[in-house]
Amino acid sequence: MKIINIVGARPNLVKIAPLLRAMRRYERIEPMLVHTGQHYDKKLSDIFFHQLQINEPDFNLDVGSGSQAWQTAEVLKRIEPVLVDQRPDLVLVVGDVNSTVAGSLAAAKLGIPIAHVEAGLRSFDRSMPEEINRIVTDALADYLFVTEKSAVENLLKEGRPRERIYFVGNVMIDALEQFLPVAQESRIAEDLGLICNGSLQPFGLVTLHRPSNVDSSATLASLVRALESVADMVPLIFPVHPRTRQKLLQLGINDHAKLRLIDPLGYLEFICLLSHARIVLTDSGGVQEETTALAIPCLTLRENTERPVTVTRGTNHIVGLEFEKIRTKAREILGGNGKKGERPELWDGHAAERIMEILLKQEL
């Protein structure tokens, strides 16, 4: 069974690592990896391959950055010859980036079965490019592997056959379970000066990368003002995505006394900080899941989430973009009044194994 696995952006690498690891346990499976190059910066890509123990990709399409349409079209154009030449039994895609939908579309037009890992997640906000990617990918996929039960309901409402939907758990948590012990050996806290008299000092962690938050100067400036107000309660570490850094520089924003802007981190360094943070402020779907798994309070700087189980069962709060709401909820959490939450069902580190067991039973 030849399976071509398609990745393009940094979150894809976290999800594909446990899947490739599970595939290699079976002689019947021949896994191949295609990296579209959607994320090509060394700090956003190469270090993740190394830390997540992912072999060099079999194919690197070197697509690079561009508009939504250009990038999707370029992946589609460059991946088709690979699929034609390799003739895989299955194309496996993860997440919701442009590489996900482009790879699925190329496979569907060639009659190659598609498996979508992390299917059925919906924010119901079509202004998000990722939402369009999710909807289209799920419409094309033959195997829909979901992380939470709300995703099953979403897919059924969209008319997807029940027999194609599999509730398997969350491969992001598989990676977290595998690599957290290694991450805890990181010296990132010492490097950032967070250790004082032998003790780790309280701190919070920030991530911002969604175009809706960072492309508008007014929105970004307002969010930074809110972050600065939280940083007056607890120092915040903000690993800054390159495009976010560029926007901040255009606004003349640099370090606040207690809001530290640092370069992007590797997976292990980030997970180490995440696991020790008092509070996390983010617009990332994956970080919402990781904080829920680690029982770390999370404020999501969006008006919605495609991962509602992180709110209903986990430690996530949707606070939107309003200054006062962000500050009030942060004060509540830092005062010890945040919800405790619990791990969602099947977030146990074995999702990739379940996926392999299902695929091995299929006649591909």
Q: Which of 50, 209, 276, 350 is catalytic?
A: 209
* Orientation angle between helical segments 217-231 and 323-332, nearest 10 degrees: 30
Where does residue 97 fall: left (phi above 0), alpha (psi -120 to 50 degrees), or beta otherwise?
beta
| Stretch (H or E) spanning 205 | strand 204-207
> From CA 140, how far away is CA 123, in angstroms rounded?
19
| Residues 32, 92: Cα–Cα separation, whole Å | 10
With contact defined as beta carbons under 8 Å apart, do 98 and 8 qualify? yes
Which residue's structure tokens are 């202004």?
127
* CA dihedral for 12, 15, 18, 20, sign (positive or negative): negative
Contact indicator for 205, 277 with CB cutoff of 8 Å: yes
CA-angle at 64, arms to 63 and 67, nearest 5°: 100
Sheet with 298-300, side-by-side order of all strands = 259-262, 236-239, 204-207, 279-282, 298-300, 316-318
Phi/psi at 183 (5° precision): -60, -35
Establish whether 241 is a catalytic residue.
Answer: no
Q: Which residues are catalytic?
A: 209
